[in-house]
Amino acid sequence: MSKKTKSSLDGQSRGYKIFVIIVLALLAVFFIFPLYWILTGSLKDAITINAQKPQWFPLNPTLDNYVRLFKQPAIQWLLNTIIIAVAAMALTCITAALAGYALAKKRFFGQTVLFSLLVCAMALPKQVIVIPLLQEMSALGLNNNLLAVILPTVGWPFGIFLMKQFSETIPTEMLEAARIDGASEVRTFVSIVFPMVKPGVGALAIFTFVNTWNDYFLQLIMLQKREVLTISTGIARLQGEVSSDFGLIMAGAALAAVPIVAVFLMFQKYFTQGITMGAVKG
């Protein structure tokens, strides 16, 4: 019976099902292709790249593009990106876990106002505040300093919001019991709250890492000197300088994309959890 119901529910006509599969497969090719073209392009020599006929697969692959890429400070760019992403991730997770718990589990003066302020700020265009931020950072003497990218990333309230959602699942009775047992606030947080919101912290960590890695606009505005560039801004700079050297640029794009795609694939489960839990309901 239940099987019958299910089949009548999912009972699209056979033709429609085949149509869906074909369309999705074609789209999958279309969505994977740019990455494929970056990777294969990075292995082609200049003659193959500029040939009138596309070579779908690099028949005589060469690492020459990578050799030339590493003559640029590409390793330094990669390192800068990793420093920015890891620092922003760690700071965001710590501060947001603390704040999210307070917002979810404590009743305090100014709570509603503060929460509305955070939600409103999130609805505003993030990039707009980057221009005044540049002036703020200059005033703080943080020009061409990686901190100029890290600090504003930590300030963005998405993490607080996400951790509030996760903290709401903590049973209040457990917190009450800890208080009756005389546990201090810090102890309660470390031994009860944090273990319970760990999946949330994981989701926030991977989400912040990937988004910070790819936050091109902020990096572009804050970092100009060649040695403090990130991998994204470095590749963009290269493209401005040698716009027709597609082999070199594809090698750079591969260096920017492969690590972050690998991280994403490894922690995909947490990542999707972060996206779904962070959605404002209603």
Could you say which residues in the range 212-251 bind other proteins, by CB under 8 A? Answer: 213-214, 216-217, 220-221, 232-233, 235-236, 239, 246, 249-250
Which tokens go with 232?
């994204």
User: Applying CB under 8 A, which part among 2-10, 63-71, 72-80, 170-178 lies near other proteins?
Assistant: 2-10
Report which DSSP code applies to 63.
-
Work out how close the CB of 161 gets to other proteins at its nearest, in angstroms, rounded to a whole number.
11
User: Applying CB under 8 A, which part among 59-67, 72-80, 111-119, 168-176 lies near other proteins?
Assistant: 111-119
Using CA atoms, how far apart are residues 70 and 163, in angstroms rounded to an integer?
40
User: Applying CB under 8 A, which part among 69-77, 127-135, 170-178, 194-202 lies near other proteins?
Assistant: 127-135
Burial 135-155 (b: 16+ CB within 10 A, else e): eebeeeebeebbebbbbbbbe
109 conformational bin, left if phi > 0, alpha if psi -120 to 50, beta if neither:
beta
| Among positions 43, 65, 77, 101, the unique one binding other proteins when judged by CB under 8 A | 101
Q: Should residue 22 be labelled a site residue for other proteins when binding is judged by CB under 8 A? A: no
Q: Should residue 121 be labelled a site residue for other proteins when binding is judged by CB under 8 A? A: yes
CB-CB contact of 167 with 104 (8 Å): yes
Helices assigned H by DSSP within the chain: 2-9, 14-41, 46-50, 64-69, 74-105, 111-123, 130-139, 147-155, 158-167, 172-180, 185-188, 194-213, 216-222, 231-241, 246-266, 268-277
Q: Toward other proteins, which CB reaches closer, 46 or 83? A: 46
Which tokens go with 114?
């503060």
Span 164-183, contacts to other proteins by CB under 8 A: none
Span 60-89, contacts to other proteins by CB under 8 A: none
Work out how close the CB of 11 gets to other proteins at its nearest, in angstroms, rounded to a whole number.
8
Report which DSSP code applies to 226.
G
Q: Should residue 275 be labelled a site residue for other proteins when binding is judged by CB under 8 A? A: yes
Work out how close the CB of 189 gets to other proteins at its nearest, in angstroms, rounded to a whole number.
8
| Among positions 3, 9, 59, 225, the unique one binding other proteins when judged by CB under 8 A | 9
Closest CA to 224 of 80, 68, 88, 127: 80
- Draw the binding track, 23-62, toward other proteins (x: CB under 8 A; -: no contact): -x--xx-xxx-xx-xx--x-------xxxxxx--------
